[in-house]
Amino acid sequence: MGTRSDKKARQGQVAAAAAAADAGAVPRMRPVCAVRPGLTRSFGPGVHDGRVRAITAIRDKWVNGTVLHYFFFDKASDGSTVPLADGSQHFVTWKGSDKQKKVVRDAFAAWKALPIGLEFKEVASADEAEIRIGFMRGDGSWSWVGREILNIGSAERTMNFGWDLTNDFDTALHEIGHTLGMHHEHQNPFAGIVWHEEAVYASLGAPPNHWSRETTHWNIIRKLPEASVQGTQWDADSVMHYSFEAGLIKAPAQFAGGIFPPGGLSARDQSWLKEIYPKLGGTATFPELKLLESRPLSIRAGQQIDLRLNPAASRTYEMRTFGTSDTLMVLFEDIDGELRYRTGDDDSGEDRNAYIKRRLYKRRKYVLRIRMYYADRPGETGVMWW
């Protein structure tokens, strides 16, 4: 899960950064991730704050048990170039070396080994992949967050690594963390960080990042909504937390000399992911939802139910939730033991119920997964197919 810097090395980093600050030098950040800003979700006037908070908490998370397919772009340079922020030109290539790809594969394996209920599978075609990875130098390292990647065209990257990963396992862990629905931990509203804002803008605007003020604000200064973070505690050891040199943090005072996460997945990273995506048994352990059976959804906000569907005839079927609730409902087909996504519906923040209409086939096996965002009256929601 990545090597942890020893205490003496971190103390040396703090001392060097503090000396530079005392000498009047502008602190220089190492290359860092610039997460892609997603679409801002708006809600109607009838959606009260408690319901908004419940939806915000898990709206970018996957239904547990999803198989996320990843693909490495193999586009070699075609001779074209793009201008970089420092005025130089860079050949366009999204292709990474075998060593770089191995680091990313190992990072996927590290997340899976926690263990969690999600699965990761490498595929040979961008059309088959939800996660599409490039290694374009000079474009920074970044990822879209969680289910936002489903809105990105199959010819486009959902993740990029902009520098050599050979000795930087944590960057691979970090970007995959974004794809799993994790946000930057230093933007946790419970951290209480007060920035020397102009120093932060100056540091990130300088080499090697060359960030605009807008990018710096989005990735560092901006506080996340309280509902989007897990619990009410700040994890300065998280793999989702940047390192910060001296001179950037005004408060808490003990971090004026900088923050240097030790590397790897923190204990809280691990417990949080296992809570959101608990390890699952095989599909045989899922209860069957009988045709025309109205089944109560006895799950709380953030929880999920997995149900087997066994169609007796090949025809078009309908599936719907009932009751005043917000849910994400997703249909998978079991193909040789792998659940493949077929369709889904998210009714969160809307005054309707999740609904799927789909042709199913006799003797094929399906799984219907429902994740609860919010229930106005717990115990008074249900699901049926017909």
CA distance 205 to 161: 19
Both 259 and 332 in one domain: the answer is: no
pLDDT in tens, 217-234: 999 999 988 877 766 688
CA distance 276 to 62: 9
CA distance 311 to 309: 6
Last residue of a domain, one of 242, 276, 310: 276
Both 20 and 166 in one domain: the answer is: yes
Render the burial of 249-278: b for 16+ CB within 10 Å, e for the rest.
beeeeebbbbbbbbbbbbebbbebbeebbe
Q: What is the mean pLDDT of each run of 10 residues along the chain (386 residues)?
A: 37 38 47 75 77 80 94 71 60 85 97 96 94 90 92 92 92 96 91 93 90 92 82 86 92 91 94 92 89 92 94 98 94 92 93 96 96 86 96
Radius of gyration of the chain from Cα atoms?
23
CA distance 321 to 296: 9
pLDDT in tens, 156-173: 999 999 999 999 999 999
* Best CA proximity match to 63, nearest among 370, 375, 383: 370
Both 260 and 171 in one domain: the answer is: yes
pLDDT of residue 34: 80
pLDDT of residue 1: 40
- What is the CATH number for 39? 3.40.390.10
Both 147 and 13 in one domain: the answer is: yes
Both 267 and 319 in one domain: the answer is: no
Q: Is the pTM of this model over 0.85?
A: no
Query: What is the residue-wise DSSP string for 56-95?
Result: HHHTTSPPTT-EEEEEE------S-EEE-TTS-EEE----
- Facing residues of 134 across strands? 160
Both 266 and 326 in one domain: the answer is: no
Both 33 and 119 in one domain: the answer is: yes
Residue at 190 is within a domain: yes
Residue at 324 is within a domain: yes
- What is the CATH number for 337? 2.60.120.1050
Beta strand pairing call for 365-375 and 325-335: antiparallel
Residue at 1 is within a domain: no
Query: Which range of residues forms the domain containing residue 102?
Result: 7-276
Query: What is the residue-wise DSSP string for 103-156?
Result: HHHHHHHHHHTTT-S-EEEE-S-GGG-SEEEE--TTS-BEE--GGGGGGS-TTS
Sign of the C-alpha dihedral computed for residues 60, 243, 112 and 274 taken in this order: negative
